[in-house]
Every structure is written in C-alpha cells, then in structure tokens.
Amino acid sequence: MDCGRYAIKRVLGEQVVVQAVVFAEGHDRVFARLLYRQAGQEGWQRAAMEAMGNDRWEGSFVVEALGYYEYTVEGWVDRFGTWQEALEKKYDAGQAVGVELTMGAALLGEAAARVGGEAAKELAQWAEALVGTKDENEAVAAALSEEVGAWMREHADEEAMTRYGRRLRVWVDRALAGFSTWYELFPRSCGRGAGKHGTLQDVAAELERVAQMGFDVLYLPPIHPIGRTNRKGRNNVVKAGAEDPGSPWAIGGPEGGHKAIHPALGTVEDFRELVKRTRGYGLEVAMDLAFQCTPDHPYVQEHPEWFRWRPDGTVQYAENPPKKYEDILPINFETEDWRALWEELKSVVVYWLGQGVRIFRVDNPHTKPFAFWEWLIEEVRREHPEVMFLAEAFTRPTVMAMLAKVGFTQSYTYFTWRNTAYELRQYMEELTGTGLAEYFRPNFWPNTPDILPQYLQYGGRAAFVVRLVLAGTLSSNYGIYGPAFERCEDRAVEGKEEYLDSDKYEIKDWSAGERPDISAVVERVNRARRENAALQRTNNVVFCECENEMLLAYCKVTEDLSNIVMVVVNLDSHHRQVGWMRTPLEHLALEAHQPYLAQDVLSGDRYLWQGEWNYVELDPATMPAHVMVLRRRLRREMDFDYFM
C-alpha cells in the first residue's frame, strides 16, 4: 500500500495472503518464499510460496499477536529444481543420465558443506543415493522425489537469494476491531422523569437492556463540562434559554476541559464504576474524542496561541457554511507551539486510558492534520495495542481513506445515503473488491445524532427495519444512535436531515409519547450476527441476481462453507415486492438437484428451496427482510422433525 508506506490491517487469527511476481532471465527454474515476523523479533519465520503460473507466486501466514508484523519475499534461481527438470526430460527420452546424476550429487554435496549439522548428513545420504547405486532407475527415482527437492529448497544458498527491498507491515488489532456492534446514547437523557438530567449511574441502569439487545460497545457522546458563552438552545437556535443544557460537543467551562466530567453527570469515580459494570455485561465504553473548545475552556486562557485569532481581536469560530458553530473554537494546529499542543492532546487520551477506556470515537478527524493522527495513534499503540479509534469523517473519499491509512481502526461511511440496490451493490464492491479492503474497515450507521436521512424521515417503521438489516448484515461493524432508532424517531427539521428536538441540544425523555418500538427486531438481528460466523466479516459478501430491483439479495459464507446466510431486503418500505432471485449455487457448494432449507431468523419461518431460482415475497407491513440460514443438505430422507 503506497509502496509500503502504510500498514495493511488484520485482526487476531486472520490470514495474510501475499502474492508476488518472481522471475529471472533465461529458462532456469525459480523459487520463492515468504518471510514474516512480529516487529522487533530478530529472526524470520518462513513459509513456502506456491507457483500460480505466469511468474506469480502466493504464500500466507496467520497473525497471532497484537501489534505490527513485518513481511517480505525472497526469490532465487533453483539450481537443483532446474537440474531435476532437465534430468527428467532426458530420462523420459531414454537418454543416458549418468553424468546428470553425478552433477546432482555434486549440488547436494555443496549444500551439505554449506549447512553442516544433521541437515548435512541427510543431504549427503541423498547424494549417495544418486551415485552409490548401480540401479539407475532407483537413482533417478530418488533424484526426482519431492522429498529431496524440499530438503534443497529448505537449505537453499541464502547468499544467492534476492530479497524484496522493503519490509512491508501489517497492523494486528483485537477481534472487536473486525466485529463490533455499537449503541449510542446521551447520558443526560437517561434520567428518570421529564427534564431530569441523567447521570452516569442512570447510564449504568441501561446496561442490562443494551446488552440484552446484543450490543458490545456503548458509545457516549462527550461527557465533559459544557461552555456557557454562545451556548446553543433547543433545535440549534443561537440564543439559549436559562435551562438549556447546550451541546455536549461544546467542550470546556470553569469546571474544566477534556479531562473533566460534567458535574451533573457525576464524578470520575462514577465513570470508573460505569466502565467496570459495563465490562460485567460484556460491553465496552467508547468515549468521544472531540478536539475543539468553547471560549470558556481553560486552554483558551492558558494557551491562546493554540487558537486562530482574527485581525479585530476576535477568535475564529468553527463553521461549515451555511452551518455556524459559534459555541466552538477550532484548535489551530498550525501554531508555532504545535509540539506542546500535540503532547497535551495526547495527554487527554492517556488520561482516559487511565480511567479504563480502550475505544475512542473521534469527532471530525478530517479537520486535523494527518501527521498529528499518525503520531498520536502510534504513540498510544506503543503501550496499548488494544486501543481502537473510530473516524467520524463524512468527507471526500480520498481523505477518509487517508485517515484509515494513518491508523484509524474503523471508519464511518457513505452507507447512510446509499438506498437503491444499485448504489448499495456498487458501494459494497468498492469497499470489499478494491485495495480499500486491506485497510479501511467500514462501520455502518443508519443514523447519528447529526443525521436523520430522508429514507428514515418518510419510510415509517419498515424503513428502520430495512436499514437495520442492511447495516447489520452487510458490514461486520455497525452501530445505531439507539433510543431514536429503536423508537423510529422520524421527525426532522424542515428541509434538513437533522432531528427535530434533538438530544444534541436538550434533555430527552424517551419513555414519553407513543412511538413504534423495534428493539425486538434489533435483538434478533444482533443474535443472528453472534450466532453466524458468516456475518462476522464484511469482505465475504456475494450479491445475487434479482428480477425486481426493489429487492436486494446477497449471501455471506464462511471459508469452510459451514455457515451460509442469505439476506433478501425489500428496499420499498411502503409496498409489497415480489420476484425471483438466483442463489449462486456454485459459490455455496449447493447442488441444483438437491433441496436445501432456508430458515429465517427474523420470523422463524422455514422454506424448502431447490435449484438456482426461487420466489421471494416481502411485505413491509409485516417484515421487509429475510435473514436466512441455509442448510446445505437434509439430515436424512423423511426426517420430518427437521422441518418442524
């Protein structure tokens, strides 16, 4: 990737498959091997590479520890293998091969002298087998055996090898980086009663419910003190009322900055207890990392040089026209005091590591220098390779890709705005079928506190189920802005993709009012993800032909074909859609003449399918999607219990 400038990514236990073009002038046989090791180790581990034809070779290794691995490729002219080929041709042609056998014995003798020890004895015995027997047929059989060829490749002359000039790298994350399910909520909206400010202890009371739905990451927006200057009111109005709590992303006040907790939420001790209790439910806390300040932040008084000031003496507020963020001051990363700034921001991360946080969702990383993120992430991982960073960057594709290259573990994506079958197929093919698959880990979010897409505004309950199923089955990492999504909240600011009466600017009481509730469907989707290994990867998606473009069908399968999941989604959240879809039998090792069972984990229904083309009918009034586990063969004929 970029000529080895950046590392590709894997999680523990995954395979790294390496291909190389290895060739030499002339007709001599060449050979190649893969070298790999954990960074910092002295010696290399070696793996043979297999010839794929046309000078291409392939080898692989499995990553078994967190942190960096290094790998490269060696190639050499295989003198012994070339000799074997020539010997075989002459022997098959009925020509005398006595001289050739003597030459082969000499090659074996040279190798024995070079390596010494027990290997030398073994090679000497092979040399004797070539010239020490009167039966030429036996000698040729020994000379052409794969065993002697393997010995010679194992003990090839390393001084005659050519090594690729770069040490390429792999960064290895823990398993959660490759398969995670995120739930976002605002702690201040967890209070009991209308308008009551929630606390971290109230968040702890939500843990059992979140865990029961099948989530493993609890993401909290900023929990720091909120500034008073230019505080935003309800629905992002410029002037706040006396009781308006402001936006959590407007960080910093007299109570402290990025290392402080909003007094109404509780104390650092409360936070540590929350982290501890979260782990008890099989969850982890993800913390928001938003490097921006209010005018009331201590940094503004202590380090005015870290901010950009205008000619009239006022500070440059953050803005993204036509949006204005008068309550936020962007940090000036071009300050001459940048070294001290970088170290201070690193200390923020280190502080929360000390409180037990190991996952950070980073707000707007694309507005800060790539060099800063590369340095910060590398510094943190040196001591804590288990730490994960999610990049919240809805921006240009090249910038999003660059953030992934410099070290971000996962990335927000354009999934939020991909609605048609064509758009979804094209986007998934981009994410999984190009070089992005080696380093860009997508995390699909149907909604966020900032974004209520039009599809959800006008699609009703079924639209939320559709986007849930798509996010949870297309990507191995996905998340929801929880209470709003569960309750199918679709009220938007007129003409915008923003929530009306948003959590961002007020304390919400999600128990109030009559709204749909799809938490049971969320639980079923997450259970399917946990129970089916095929859904725990992103890059194994295969799209299926459908006669109806309102139906999107795709399957996911494990490498050993032990788990096959077929998903069919009605993208029209208002109308029943029907059609015929083609099951890719050749990809799934299914036989056209043999029936196979499709069990829907959402509805519990079972279908007996056979052949390539099968009929599908999905009514959004009941359930707009199938998530079906396919069983490749029946247990035995007349096994009626199997269908019950």
Active site amino acids: 363, 392
Nearest one of 108, 93, 98, 100 to 133, comparing CA atoms: 98
Listed in sequence order, the DSSP H helices in 132-267 are 136-143, 146-154, 200-212
- Residue position matching structure tokens 């995390």: 443
Instruction: With beta carbons less than 8 A apart as the criterion, state whether 182 and 443 touch.
Output: yes
Distance, CA of 221 to CA of 185 (rounded, Å) = 7
Q: What are phi and psi of 277, to 5 degrees?
A: -70, -35
CA neighbours within 13 Å on the CB side: how many for 405? 17
Instruction: With beta carbons less than 8 A apart as the criterion, state whether 11 and 133 touch.
Output: no
Q: What are phi and psi of 506, to 5 degrees?
A: -155, 165
Q: Using alpha carbons, list the distances in angstroms from residue 597 to 100, 555, 625, 631.
A: 61, 14, 17, 5
The two tokens of residue 148 are 């002697």
Length of the chain, in residues: 644
Instruction: With beta carbons less than 8 A apart as the criterion, state whether 577 and 570 touch.
Output: yes
Distance, CA of 322 to CA of 372 (rounded, Å) = 28
Residue 124 identity: A
Please enumerate in sequence order all residues whose Cβ is within 8 A of that of 229, keeping only pairs 6 or more positions apart, or say none: 294, 295, 296, 327
**Cis bond upstream, residue 365 (ω within 30):** no
Please enumerate in sequence order all residues whose Cβ is within 8 A of that of 167, keeping only pairs 6 or more positions apart, or say none: 4, 70, 71, 72
DSSP summary character for residue 44: P
Distance, CA of 554 to CA of 583 (rounded, Å) = 9
Instruction: With beta carbons less than 8 A apart as the criterion, state whether 181 and 524 touch.
Output: no
